[in-house]
Amino acid sequence: MWRSLWRSIDRFSLQHFKYVINELRGIKVVHKHNRELVIDLLQSIVEIVTYGDRQDPMIFECFMEYQVLAEFVRVLKIGKNARIEAPLLQYLSIMIQNMDSEHAIYYCLSNDYINSIIEHQYEFDVGDLAPYYVSFLRAVSSKINRDTLCLLVKVHGDAVVSFPLYNEALKFARHGEKMIQTAVRALTLNIYNVSDDMVYQFITTPPVSNYFSDLVCRLKEQCVHLDTLLHSKEETSTRERRNELVLETDKIVDDIYYLKDILSVGEYRLNRLISQNLFSLLVFPTLLPLLQLRQNDGSNISSVTSLYIVSRLLQVVDGKSMVNAVAGIILYPYMTLSVGDAMKGDTVDGVCNASSFLDHLNDMEKRVRSGPESEGAENIKSNNLFGHLAEYLSSNSQLISGLQNDDCVERGGVLAHIFADNNHSLLLASLFLLLILAESKDLDYLLASMIGLSRIQDIVNHDLSASQVVDGSLFVKFMPQILNALLKILASQPPLSVLIQWHTGWFLRKLLISQISQGKTVNDLNFHLFNSRERLRKELDGCWFDYIPDTLRNEWLSCKTALEESSQFKDPFFALEIAVCQQDTDGDATTVSAWQRMVEAVKVFILHLQLKAVIFKGSLLEKPVLNMPNGPTADSGRGHASDTPSASFGSDVSLGSGIPCRIAFSNAGIRDIYLIPVARETTGKLLLTEKHPFRSQRGVVIAIAPLAGLSPKIDNDHPSWLHLRIREFDPKFNTSKARSNHLKMSNHVADGKWTLGFPTAKACEAARLLILEETSKQRSFVESILAPLLQDDYLGNLSDVEDE
């Protein structure tokens, strides 16, 4: 009856609205028989209120007069066993999200109705209520501002004693569903950005403030879990382990960005809590044992994981305090005589003789605070950070003594990882951390001079001479050894994976450019150790030689882009990938396909050529110089009609020099055919044709195979049988706008096989020779294209061309 009455009046009219409210008021208990009716009533109220908020002020006046929100609270209480909470919260969320009127929002948040709904005793263990509840909380948080926030807190005197919206949301902070975690974080940021002094005091005072330490503890747990995955002994493939690590690092990075968002609010009490917890619970416990090189007793994260974490943290959470605190700890053991003189003139045996490591921190804090950009919130963060660092170290005196040990100075600390024997992941991860610090705009000029990689002008501006930089710089002092360590990786025999070589090449280019920018000579390096040219030449005899030019052009830009990537945007995940490759024992390396082997040979060749260009020319090459034909070339095949090289399945072609034979198809029986191998430029095909039924000198193409990779072999027991290997995999180059670094390729499929029968052994041999002849012509054309690149003096010839 009530449905028919609804249809008889305007559903958005004031009259209808009052009717719906009265219907809802008439509900005394919610049970399974009237549950749908109650849900319909709630939905209608929300739709009408949303309409009225924008179109009819009288509707919202009625909403307030009838105290409809009180009815929502009442329905919650009388419908506890009828599963009414989820739809009620959903409709309330929709109503609040769609409210535009400040008057309407203010009313909804007043009278404590929202707090009553928030604090209602829900049974989250039953059903899927949690997502609806958290979505409701988030909707409320999206409408608060400095004027309405006070309506949701409970105050005693001058202090906030309760904040249900915030407190209840934090209970879901570690919920298993990603969507709920995201909603809670969005809610907290909404609150942090509009809070007043009283609310900030409540948020940053125990026990509520424990949320921030819980955040960092959870981050630390994820880092430990990441380290466990990295060193897991389970027998899984490299790809599976990499995917697991990607998922785990994504979670860690999400947490770090959330911490950055909180710091970006700019409230000094929030910054103090985040900084103190971040450094005392994660950074210091991770970094200091790493530099002391203590044996891992199970409580410490491994070195490569620690380096990954600190590097990622520096990339995301920038600022003077963070950068200089990390740099100060890492570089303290390497303070040398000249730099020490520049700072205070009090050194012994080349090592800074500050009364303690804490004095060193105090000096560093003064410099950070006295900088031209050290005012405001960043200055406050700096005070909190260095003060907390001093407090932390005072209670851990053994850490300071470890940093001051002379053993740490010569190839100790971070240098011990750089020069670790055959541990490429540690070498590159350590270098990466130093590069991030060196290239940071927030790094103190004195610390920058100690690294000695860049920012020479900043050092000069602070009256440190170039000789002081050279004498006291970490990179300058050990640069020859570091460059040789990188070159050893590139020259390893057997060659290391492309992954390791490309990342190593990135570091080598960075250091070479730095050397060149400081006027130093680098062309005396042992570049002849690069043997990738011979490896590429071998691939010209392989079954994918015809794709080498296209692969080279496709990978050239990818390599150049990878080498030029900024350290700020380079993902340190590479260190974990390399660690997995070093641990790999699942045999993946023995199952590399011929296609993958060719692509890897091209990638390594390009990398080595570009690094040689940096050594001899000081910059990367823009594009490869290939010997491409200027105009159309004649068919390389002998006596082929012009239509044969371009033939496709079903084409009508001349039989010409085709050789008659037979082939058995599994679904078509034995067929009499003609074999026609043909090559034009880089394209080579083997055509199988059937004689045209009406034209004796013509044939119809029934099958095509790539000429490259056929490897024709005569059967030992049947000399008139010819076996051919057929490439089944068809690579597709990515020509999208983004220019991916890789070719689009599915899992490589096994090669196929054809067996052809000829009338005589002589005819079989003639067919084999003809295939080899056409393949040789195709290969010769590919070699002519690549000839300039394969010359010993390619870079010298390139310079001559540029001079002309």
What is the pLDDT at residue 81?
73
Dump pLDDT digits (tens) for 560-600. 999 999 998 999 999 999 999 887 644 444 457 899 999 99
What is the pLDDT at residue 738?
36
What is the pLDDT at residue 340?
43
On the 0-12 / 13-18 / 19+ scale of CB atoms within 10 A, 123 is exposed
What is the pLDDT at residue 175?
92
What is the pLDDT at residue 359?
63
What is the pLDDT at residue 469?
47
Portion of the chain with pLDDT greater than 90, in percent:
53
Higher pLDDT residue, 168 or 319? 168
159 pLDDT band, cuts 50/70/90, is: very high
Higher pLDDT residue, 648 or 377? 648
44 pLDDT band, cuts 50/70/90, is: very high
Task: Please determine, for residue 780, whether its predicted confidence score (pLDDT) is greater than 70.
Answer: yes
What is the pLDDT at residue 386?
58
What is the pLDDT at residue 276?
87
Dump pLDDT digits (tens) for 521-534. 766 666 555 678 88
Tokens matching residue 291: 């530099």
Task: Please determine, for residue 352, whether its predicted confidence score (pLDDT) is greater than 70.
Answer: no
* Longest CA–CA separation in the chain, Å: 108
What is the pLDDT at residue 236?
82
445 pLDDT band, cuts 50/70/90, is: confident
Query: What pTM did the predictor assign?
Result: 0.84
Is the Cβ–Cβ distance between 774 and 678 less than 8 Å?
yes
Q: At residue 686, what is the residue type?
A: L
What is the pLDDT at residue 380?
42
Please give the span between the terminal C-alpha atoms of the chain, in angstroms, as a whole number.
Answer: 94
Task: Give the residue from 732, 758, 759 showing the smallest Cα distance to 745.
Answer: 732
What is the pLDDT at residue 719?
95
343, 347, 349, 352 alpha-carbon torsion, rounded to 10°: -60
What is the pLDDT at residue 48?
95
Dump pLDDT digits (tens) for 478-489. 888 899 889 888
Dump pLDDT digits (tens) for 759-768. 999 999 999 9
In terms of average pLDDT, the best of 43-52, 396-405, 506-515, 783-792 is 43-52
Tell me how far CA of residue 282 lies from CA of 211, 401, 493, in angstroms: 15, 20, 39
In terms of average pLDDT, the best of 132-141, 478-487, 723-732 is 132-141
Cβ atoms within 10 Å, residue 121? 7
On the 0-12 / 13-18 / 19+ scale of CB atoms within 10 A, 677 is buried
Dump pLDDT digits (tens) for 100-124. 889 999 999 998 999 999 999 999 9
Burial 4-41 (b: 16+ CB within 10 A, else e): eebeeeeebeeebbebbbebbeebeebeeeeeeebbbb
Task: Please determine, for residue 633, whether its predicted confidence score (pLDDT) is greater than 70.
Answer: no
What is the pLDDT at residue 597?
92
What is the pLDDT at residue 660?
95
Separation CA 297–CA 288 (nearest Å)? 15
What is the pLDDT at residue 492?
82
Spell out the long-range contacts of 662-665 with Cβ–Cβ below 8 A and sequence spacing 24 or more. 662/756, 662/757, 662/758, 663/688, 663/754, 663/755, 663/756, 663/757, 664/755
| Of 413-422, 459-468, 677-686, minimum mean pLDDT range | 459-468
Portion of the chain with pLDDT greater than 70, in percent:
78
Higher pLDDT residue, 616 or 635? 616
Higher pLDDT residue, 492 or 87? 87
Angle (CA) 6-8-10 rounded to 5° is 75
Separation CA 555–CA 552 (nearest Å)? 5
What is the pLDDT at residue 523?
64
Dump pLDDT digits (tens) for 167-205. 999 999 999 899 999 999 999 999 999 999 999 999 999
Q: At residue 65, what is the residue type?
A: E
Task: Please determine, for residue 450, whether its predicted confidence score (pLDDT) is greater than 70.
Answer: yes
Mean pLDDT value across the chain: 82
What is the pLDDT at residue 617?
85
Task: Please determine, for residue 297, whether its predicted confidence score (pLDDT) is greater than 80.
Answer: no
Task: Please determine, for residue 1, whether its predicted confidence score (pLDDT) is greater than 50.
Answer: no
Task: Please determine, for residue 367, whether its predicted confidence score (pLDDT) is greater than 90.
Answer: no
Higher pLDDT residue, 7 or 281? 281
Task: Please determine, for residue 371, whether its predicted confidence score (pLDDT) is greater than 70.
Answer: no
284 pLDDT band, cuts 50/70/90, is: confident
Is the Cβ–Cβ distance between 267 and 195 less than 8 Å?
yes
